[in-house]
Amino acid sequence: MRIVAVAAASLLLAACSHIPFVSKAPPPAGKVVGIVEYDTGLARFSTVTGVYHQDMCSKAEPDARVHLSDKEMKAILAQADKSGFYQVKPDLTHWPDPSNRPPRCASFRLRIESGDRRNEVRWDCDADGSNAPPAEVAPVAELVRRTLHSRKEVQAMPWSSCQVK
């Protein structure tokens, strides 16, 4: 019975070896710790996975590996602080839907975590169909978008052939 228990414990440790050890120690110098997730309905990015995914509506490769630099992460986290992102209410969607809104309206999501501060905000396109982010999240959402679109990995992706209506 003791051999079975030791074997089971060894299997459990081996299965969990990929889970990082959580410690209260500060992160290593030069490494910015935070999470940024951005979803535009047609494109999604997460620092957790390091993947920028773009719906292509074709057979083209829809993913690019993107890892933000410390400088890029610091700029995004600083903008989130400066613009009050962590205090923005989570739901900025329009309800009820404006009657003149286009039938296919994009839904957006931006999640940022840094230390004990975190927020996830959702919004949709305006009544006129514009995809500009609301003023409450515009500074940080635009910085994330510009940062991603400035990356060579994202620029090298083919244009999406999805129909925008």
Start-end of H helices in the chain: 2-15, 70-82, 138-150, 152-155
How far, rounded to the nearest angstrom, does the alpha carbon of residue 141 sit from its chain's CA centroid? 10
Summarize the confidence of residues 82-106 as an average pLDDT.
80
Q: How many CB atoms lie within 10 A of CB 46?
A: 16
Q: How far apart are the C-alpha atoms of 12 and 67, rounded to whole Å?
A: 31
Q: Provide, rounded to the nearest whole percent, the portion of the chain with pLDDT above 70.
A: 66
Beta bridge partners of 43: 54
Q: How many CB atoms lie within 10 A of CB 1?
A: 5
Q: Which two tokens stand for residue 8?
A: 């089971």
Q: Which of 79, 81, 76 minimizes the C-alpha distance to 150?
A: 76
Q: Which of 79, 82, 76 minimizes the C-alpha distance to 148?
A: 76
Q: Which of 32, 26, 56 minimizes the C-alpha distance to 43?
A: 56
Summarize the confidence of residues 8-33 as an average pLDDT.
41
Instruction: Specify whether the CB–CB gap between 51 and 65 falls below 8 A.
Output: yes
Instruction: Specify whether the CB–CB gap between 141 and 108 falls below 8 A.
Output: yes
Residues in the chain: 165
Summarize the confidence of residues 17-32 as an average pLDDT.
42
111-157: per-residue pLDDT in tens? 999 999 999 999 987 766 677 899 999 999 999 999 999 999 999 98
All domains in the chain, ordered by first residue: 31-155 (3.30.1560)
**What is the per-residue pLDDT for 28?**
40
The pTM for the full model equals 0.74
Summarize the confidence of residues 95-108 as an average pLDDT.
70
Higher pLDDT, 161 or 152: 152
| Confidence label for 60 from pLDDT (cuts 50, 70 and 90) | low
DSSP codes, 98-116: PTTS-SS--EEEEEEEETT
Higher pLDDT, 123 or 7: 123
